């Protein structure tokens, strides 16, 4: 067996595995996706507020927690709505006689 072939095969397996993991998260529940999004948003917002404005860590943390939680609820509503529309569209196409 050629070593470059084995390396290429292993890389394709790794890419497929990573893709499957990401796909499971995206296709997962809206609540799980919203929680992951919100936690990342809190960390990013806290760092940005501290770096850009020079605010104390207390103020940066307060804003970084409140604002992303509101955005997390908004994201949950958007994701649930999108899934509902997608399911309705799939159901309508199933029964269409075009």
pTM of the model: 0.47
Q: What is the pLDDT of residues 20-78, one digit of tens each?
A: 777 776 666 777 787 888 888 888 888 999 999 999 988 888 888 888 788 889 988 99
Q: Sign of the C-alpha dihedral, residues 42, 26, 28, 88?
A: positive
Task: Flag whether 36 is in a domain.
Answer: yes
* 20: in domain: no
Quick check: is 18 in a domain? no
Residue 14 within a domain: no
What letter would DSSP give residue 30? H
Q: Does 85 reside within a domain?
A: yes
The parent domain of residue 50 ranges over 30-94
């Amino acid at each position: 067996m050629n070593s470059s072939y084995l390396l290429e095969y292993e890389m394709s397996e790794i890419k497929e595995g990573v893709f499957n993991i990401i796909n499971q998260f995206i296709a997962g529940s809206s609540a799980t996706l919203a929680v992951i999004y919100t936690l990342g948003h809190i960390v990013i917002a806290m760092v940005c507020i501290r770096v850009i404005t020079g605010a104390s860590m207390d103020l940066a943390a307060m804003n970084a927690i409140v604002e992303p939680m509101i955005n997390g609820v908004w994201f949950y509503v958007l994701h649930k709505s999108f899934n509902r529309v997608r399911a309705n569209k799939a159901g309508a196409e199933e029964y269409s006689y075009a």
